[in-house]
Structure 1
Amino acid sequence: MSYTQLSMGSGSRTARRTFEFGRTHVVRPKGKHQATIVWLHGLGDNGSSWSQLLENLPLPNIKWICPTAPTRSVAKFGGFSCTAWFDAGELLEDSPDDWEGLDASAAHIANLLSAEPADVKIGIGGFSMGAAMAFYSATCCALGRYGNGNPYLVNLKAVVGLSGWLPGSRGLRNKIEGSHEAARRAASLPILLLHGTCDEVVPYKHGENSARSLSMAGFRLLTFKSYEGLGHFTVPKEMDEVCNWLTTRLGLEGSCA
Structure 2
Amino acid sequence: MIEPLLQCVENTPASTPDACVIWLHGLGDSGHGFAPIVPELKLPGSMAVKFLFPHAPERPITINGGMRMRAWYDIKSLDFESRADLDGVEASALQVEQLIRAQIESGIPASRIVLAGFSQGGVIALHLAPRFSEKLAGVMALSTYMCEPSLLANQANDVNKETPIMMAHGEQDEVVPVFMGNAAYKTMVENGYNATWQTYTMQHNVCMQELNDISVWLQKVLA
TM-score (norm 2): 0.87
Return the alpha-carbon distance in structure 1 between the equivalents of residues 5 and 12 of structure 2: 21
Structure 1 gap ranges (5+)? 4-19, 145-153, 177-181, 252-257
* Residue aligned with 2:115, SS: strand
2:139 corresponds in structure 1 to: 159
Higher alpha-carbon Rg: 1
1:133 corresponds in structure 2 to: 124
**Which of the numbers 28, 50, 53 marks the counterpart of 1:63?**
50
1:226 corresponds in structure 2 to: 199
Structure 2 gap ranges (5+)? none
Go from structure 1 to structure 2 and tell me whether the alpha carbon gap of 1:47 and 1:56 turns closer, same or farther (over 3 Å shift): same
Return the alpha-carbon distance in structure 1 between the equivalents of residues 14 and 77 of structure 2: 41
Asked whether 1:208 is paired with 2:192, we answer no
TM-score (norm 1): 0.76
Go from structure 1 to structure 2 and tell me whether the alpha carbon gap of 1:156 and 1:102 turns closer, same or farther (over 3 Å shift): same
2:218 corresponds in structure 1 to: 246
2:96 corresponds in structure 1 to: 109
Asked if the contact 2:22–2:53 (Cα under 8 Å) also holds between the matched residues in 1, the reply is: yes
Return the alpha-carbon distance in structure 1 between the equivalents of residues 34 and 91 of structure 2: 21
1:168 corresponds in structure 2 to: 148
Alpha carbon RMSD of aligned pairs, Å?
Answer: 2.2
Return the alpha-carbon distance in structure 1 between the equivalents of residues 120 and 83 of structure 2: 15
Question: Letter of the aligned partner of 1:135 in structure 2?
Answer: L
Asked if the contact 1:43–1:84 (Cα under 8 Å) also holds between the matched residues in 2, the reply is: yes
Return the alpha-carbon distance in structure 1 between the equivalents of residues 160 and 190 of structure 2: 11
1:254 corresponds in structure 2 to: none
Q: Percent identity?
A: 29
Q: What is the 5 A alignment of 1:1-257?
A: 3=3, 23-31=7-15, 33-59=17-43, 60-95=47-82, 97-116=84-103, 117-119=107-109, 121-141=112-132, 144=133, 154-176=134-156, 182=157, 184-219=158-193, 221-227=194-200, 229-251=201-223
- Number of residue pairs matched by the alignment: 215
Structure 1 moving runs of 4+ over 6 Å = none
* Residue aligned with 1:50, SS: coil
Q: For residues 12-43 of structure 1, what are the alpha-carbon distances to aligned partners after superposition, in whole Å with 9 as ceiling and x for unaligned?
A: xxxxxxxx887411000245623101101110
